[in-house]
Structure 1
Amino acid sequence: MLARSPFSQIETAHWDRTVVRTADEVASLQLPCSYSSPRQLGPDTKAFVNGVRDALLAFDPAGTFEQTIRTEAIIARRP
């Protein structure tokens, strides 16, 4: 669509970064999700977080997990 627009001069750029999180941090990342929010889980929230953390530690006892995050930008200019 951009190629056919007045902004047909297109570039893309991307940046990667690695984030290292602990098992507790990864487990806590589930809480903002609608299906696993404290509002949905209620009094079971602590048990849920503990269960996620335990599953992560069973997968990798070191307890550190890496995620590569890619940020990408599309830059469109007029020729």
Structure 2
Amino acid sequence: MTTGANRILDDFAKLMTDAAGAAQGVRKEAETVFRAQAERFFNGMDLVKREEFEAVREMAIKARDENDALLKRIEALEARLAKGA
């Protein structure tokens, strides 16, 4: 059987444990609310996902390379036309 002092300490320890559990629950709830608000905020900003950005970037690089190749062909054709004229 617990004595008066030990019982008070046991009750205090239980109270602190319960308070820590409640604080952790509040923290998790606050995190959930913050994440939901942040997600709503970023969705409203019309941002592009990284995968989409990389795909468009690769397409732009390929288009630039094709344009450079076509420019060289045009220059070569113009040079041949200039020699023939």
Higher share of residues assigned helix: 2
Normalised-by-shorter TM-score class: under 0.3
TM-score by length of 1: 0.25
TM-score by length of 2: 0.23
